Copies of this chain bind each other. A is one copy, B any other.
Amino acid sequence: MTDLPQSLPQAWRPPMGWNSWDSYGTTLTEDELLANARFMAEHLKNAGWDTLVIDIDWYDPTARAHGYNDNAPLILDEYGRQLPDPVRFPSAAGGKGFGPLAAAVHELGLKLGMHMMRGIPRIAVDKNLPVYGTNYTAKDVADLDHVCKWNPDNYGLNQSHPGAQAWYDAQLDLFASWGLDFLKVDDMQTPFHSDEIAAYHRAIAKAEAKYGRSIDLSLSPGGWVATSYVDFLRENAQMWRISDDLWDRWEDIYQQFARLARWAPFQTTGHWADADMVPFGHIGLRAERGDDRQSRLTLDEQKTLLALWCMGRSPLMVGGDLPTSNSDAIALLQNPALREVLAGSTNNRETVRERIFGKWWDESTYRGEFIVWSADAADWADGTRSAHHGGHYAALFWTGSDTYEIGRNIQLQSIVGLDARNDDWTLSDLYADAPGESADVRLEGVGADRVITGTIPPHGVLWVALDRR
């Protein structure tokens, strides 16, 4: 049987999708996007993946790997609004924008998103194009003092000028008319541009009301974004990055432990802190960082990333070109535990983070950190898929490059509460069906003395559900 609602609140769980950045950088084509969409519909949609995002510079006909172009001849309409490069996106020819592409993606039961820079195109300012629906021009509203430091496409907007809001309104009106479901807006948070964010959100709200559809707003990038902004971010966006760009190296994953621990208490339905890309599978085809490769992350590091993102309730945006990614990566993404924990865990938090030494009192023998996350499990309306009823989730991570024996320090009651002793509990491995070696993890002991124990591989995780027998 089924309990499917006809509709759900927007971003009711952290979004799960694909983004072109890690594989195609600024150069994605329509064919490549559609190939990924078809692969998702066939192989990943059942596991919860449902969105595809076209990253930066889809309006630059000179886009290339490894960098941005000064003075690029951006494709704009008569009001300075960006249009897709018709060479890369043939369906956009004739001013149709991403409308035909969105329709094709919707046809597959999926959602389409795209990237946008804060501000107004420099070309629109140089040509002093009119701001749609107003008597202002691009020069009136541009702010030449607050421009992006790393991308040369745009100037800033002078938010004290009434035409600045009108510019964003006009942009969003066009984008929403194409039927987009998701917008990733860049250069918003470092430094933190609160006026820009609020103005963008207002423009989206108006476009949503006009076109009767919802559009997720994703803010980027997130270097050093303080948790102090959380109320403001919740009011204005569906998700916001909490770090700079993440790539396929352990250091980048390691850094997310502290950030997700800081943000986890603030994750609420509809509004999510975002730990960035999942750089799995075939990446670097024509990307910003590195060359064509399968992800350099080990299988254990990939399991760690997914378990940490899910326990921290971060959105998941895969970067690898799906049709040409290795089968292990695809198998990891098909794990139903991802959606289950993203959607149905509460009270998620880091409960232990300890530095481990080979020899006590000798700092030179530092081995790594042992980190525990726990969460409560929601029950599920569809009993056929999951046996995790009224239980809990735990992830036990090890950041060292050797293996780690847990010992007897993690009492079951520290995960499931003080009534651990009153019930029989079972432990099940959430990576039981995943590629790679079986996990060594188990429950031992009785009553209040019961512990979770086992061995964690290098940069690895034991990810388990704990249920009443």
Contact = CB atoms under 8 A, between A and B. Distances in A.
Interface of A: 1-13, 46, 48, 50, 106, 109-111, 190-195, 198, 201-202, 204-206, 208-209, 211-214, 223-224, 226-229, 231-232, 238, 249, 251, 255, 258-259, 261-262, 265, 268-270, 339, 343-344, 346, 349-355, 363, 372, 374, 378-387, 389-390, 408-411, 413-415, 417-419, 422-423, 426, 448-449, 467-469
Given A209-B389, A226-B352, A255-B354, 5 more contacts: A7-B386, A10-B381, A205-B423, A214-B389, A226-B351
Nearest to A392: B228
A293 B352 CA distance: 33
B351 A227 contact: yes
A10 B204 CA distance: 32
A409 B221 CA distance: 14
Contacts of A344: 8-9
Given A192-B411, A251-B363, A383 B208 contact: yes
A465 to B, nearest CB: 11
Nearest to A388: B209
For the complex of A and B, the 8 pairs showing the least CB-CB separation, nearest first, are A213-B383, A7-B382, A9-B378, A10-B379, A226-B351, A226-B414, A208-B389, A9-B344
A379 B214 contact: yes
A211 B194 CA distance: 34
A212 B384 contact: yes
Contacts of A426: 209
Contact of A228 (B1, B214, B415): B415
A381 B415 CA distance: 34
A413 B192 contact: yes
Contacts of A190: 409
Contacts of A410: 224
A196 to B, nearest CB: 10
Contacts of A384: 212-213
A12 B374 contact: no
Contacts of A262: 261, 349-351, 353
Contacts of A355: 251, 255
Contacts of A206: 468-469
27 contacts: A2-B109, A3-B8, A4-B6, A5-B343, A6-B46, A7-B382, A9-B378, A9-B380, A191-B409, A192-B414, A194-B418, A205-B423, A208-B390, A209-B467, A212-B387, A214-B383, A226-B414, A227-B349, A228-B417, A249-B363, A251-B363, A258-B258, A258-B261, A259-B353, A262-B351, A265-B265, A270-B379
A292 B389 CA distance: 41
Contacts of A408: 191
Contacts of A9: 343-344, 378-381
Q: Which of A4, A249, A410, A467 gathers most chain B CB within 10 Å?
A: A4
Contacts of A229: 414
A4 B5 contact: yes
Contacts of A409: 190-191, 223-224
Nearest to A176: B383
A406 to B, nearest CB: 11
Nearest to A191: B411
A221 to B, nearest CB: 13
A411 B352 CA distance: 31
A168 to B, nearest CB: 13
Given A106-B1, A413-B194, A10 B258 contact: no
Nearest to A424: B206
A339 B6 CA distance: 10
Contact of A339 (B5, B109, B468): B5
A6 B255 CA distance: 33
A142 B224 CA distance: 43
Most buried by B among A214, A270, A363: A214
